[in-house]
């Protein structure tokens, strides 16, 4: 059974005097226990909204979210409480949300105190062991956020997310603000923590190289829609959008690059009907303007929402 199962999920916002914005549109997705599912797409395509919907930090406009077999779509704040500790989020600015006047001890104790977990001595031991897991040690407990480097703070953000022993972690641009050398170390750390603590990740990033390094499968989002789910990082993209996205951002491998396939058209209008990508796609045919392609299976565990699937 999948750990996360989302069906027919929509999230719309209605800004004043503007048309409705669909941040997430008709998304179906399952996340298996123990996998790292990458979620990629350009900025503003709905990745963070999807992550927050799964964690119930946002309420869906329509559709359902099932966590470990339990439909949590209509769960209230109080009903979510016991589940909340099982699902956590690490985000780009995690460490920027640290209270600057708190020591790391106070920062890490907060989730434990909220959930009345173990007593004082036990808490100290647990915080120290969590710090060692993320590559720091208990001497950091008395430090303030400004007394640490960006990479150390990001490790602390991960430690804080793991304090309550979650099973599922949404990593939202978790390595996007750190420089290259630190990024690689944090990615390695995330993978080793996943194994050690039997975690499942939704790894959201606009950085395809990072996604390629650690993810088992990759879901691709465009204007709120999932347009492709690749069964592994080596499978070749079927959707013209994914092809363009991968070609534009992957380290170039000249033999695999097909220059004529990798361009977008310059048109950001949201199509009123038909395929969401029709205005930018180089292969649009009349069918693409008329009917919206559904995400359908094109090969083993490989899904794409394209009438043609090049």
Coil, helix or strand at residue 119:
coil
Give CA separation, 203 vs 189, 213, 222, 259, 282, in Å: 14, 11, 16, 29, 29
Residues in binding contact with ligand ADP, number by CB under 6 A? 12
Which among 44-52, 75-83, 181-189, 277-285 is the span making contact with ligand ADP, rule CB under 6 A? 44-52
Asked if 237 and 274 touch (Cβ cutoff 8 Å), the reply is no
160 binds, among ligand ADP, Mg ion, none (CB under 5 to 8 A by kind): none
CA-based diameter of the chain, in Å? 68
- Label residues 85-107 b or e (16+ Cβ within 10 Å = b): bebbbbbbebbeebeeeebbbeb
Backbone φ, ψ for residue 113 (5° rounding)? -65, -40
Binding-residue pattern over the window 41 to 70 for Mg ion, x denoting contact by CB under 5 A: -------x----------------------
Give which of ligand ADP, Mg ion, none residue 150 binds (C-beta under 5 to 8 Å, depending on kind): none
Which member of 47, 56, 84, 239 binds ligand ADP (CB under 6 A)?
47
Least separation, in Å, of the C-beta of 46 and ligand ADP? 4
Q: Which is nearer to Mg ion, 13 or 283 (CB)?
A: 13
Residue pair 8/26 in contact (Cβ under 8 Å)? The answer is yes
The Cα–Cα gap between 303 and 301 comes to: 6
Instruction: Report the run of H or E that residue 181 belongs to, with start and end.
Output: helix 180-196
Residue whose CB is less far from ligand ADP, 49 or 212? 49
Q: Does 205 bind Mg ion (CB under 5 A)?
A: no
Q: Cβ closer to ligand ADP: 22 or 67?
A: 22
CB under 5 to 8 A by kind: which of Mg ion, ligand ADP, none does 100 bind?
Answer: none
212 binds Mg ion (CB under 5 A): no
45 scored as a contact of ligand ADP (CB under 6 A):
yes
Closest CA to 52 of 107, 11, 112: 11
Nearer to ligand ADP, 22 or 168 (CB): 22
Q: Is there binding between residue 43 and ligand ADP (CB under 6 A)?
A: yes
Report DSSP state, residue 178.
Answer: S
23 lies in the site for ligand ADP, by CB under 6 A: yes
Q: 36, 87, 33: which is closest to 202 by C-alpha?
A: 36
Binder of ligand ADP out of 35, 40, 46, 73 (CB under 6 A): 46
Interacting residues toward ligand ADP by CB under 6 A? 13, 15, 21, 23, 41, 43-49
Which residues would be at the binding site for Mg ion (CB under 5 A)? 48
């Amino acid at each position: 059974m999948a750990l996360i199962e989302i069906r027919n999920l929509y999230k719309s916002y209605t800004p004043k005097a503007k048309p409705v914005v669909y941040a997430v549109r008709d998304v179906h997705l399952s996340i298996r226990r123990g996998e790292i599912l990458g979620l990629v797409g350009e900025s503003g395509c709905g990745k963070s909204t999807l992550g927050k919907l799964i964690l119930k930090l946002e309420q869906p406009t329509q559709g359902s979210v099932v966590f470990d077999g339990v439909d949590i779509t209509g769960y209230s704040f109080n009903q979510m409480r016991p589940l909340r500790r099982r699902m956590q989020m690490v985000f780009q600015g995690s460490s920027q949300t640290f209270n600057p006047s708190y020591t790391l001890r106070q920062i890490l104790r907060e989730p434990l105190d909220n959930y009345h977990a173990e007593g004082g001595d036990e808490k100290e031991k647990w915080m120290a062991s969590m710090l060692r897991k993320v590559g720091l040690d208990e001497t950091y407990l008395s430090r303030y956020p400004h007394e640490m480097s960006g990479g150390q703070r990001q490790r602390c953000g991960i430690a804080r997310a793991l304090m309550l022993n979650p099973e599922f972690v949404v990593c939202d641009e978790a390595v996007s603000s750190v420089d290259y050398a630190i990024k690689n170390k944090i990615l390695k750390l995330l993978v080793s923590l996943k194994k050690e603590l039997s975690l499942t990740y939704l790894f959201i990033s606009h950085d395809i190289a990072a996604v390629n390094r650690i993810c088992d499968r990759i879901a691709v989002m465009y204007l709120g829609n999932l347009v492709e789910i690749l069964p592994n990082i080596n499978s070749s993209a079927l959707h013209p959008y994914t092809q363009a996205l991968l070609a534009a951002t992957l380290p170039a491998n000249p033999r695999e690059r097909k220059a004529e396939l990798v361009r977008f058209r310059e048109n950001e209008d949201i199509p009123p009907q038909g395929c969401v990508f029709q205005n930018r796609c180089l292969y649009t045919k009349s069918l693409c303007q008329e009917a919206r392609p559904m995400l359908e299976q094109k090969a083993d565990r490989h899904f794409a929402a394209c009438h043609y699937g090049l």
